[in-house]
Structure 1
């Protein structure tokens, strides 16, 4: 579920920041990315013909 993914990502980002670790998101599209994840429980917005998970994007930008 999207809520679980977001909580997991939020925790990981917070832990990595606390440890001073860098991170990278290698796959922006697909099942674990911010575009076209095809999750049924995500509220998407259209972005250049793709389904954008705005909540995940904002979480990543905030870190």
Structure 2
């Protein structure tokens, strides 16, 4: 099995990654939302539009 970040061989200690560095890179992608997929659900889009409009009205 190869590391999903850099394609090197995995290390049992960090499986499925090769190192702590690649595991941390993957975690950062999860936390930043890089792995998210956009929703095509009209209700989700409406809720996002409402939230964005409310955020613009609030003073910062």
State the TM-score, normalizing by the size of structure 2.
0.26
Higher relative contact order (CA 8 A, sep 6+): 1
Q: Which has the higher helix share?
A: 2
State the TM-score, normalizing by the size of structure 1.
0.25
Q: Which has the higher strand share?
A: 1
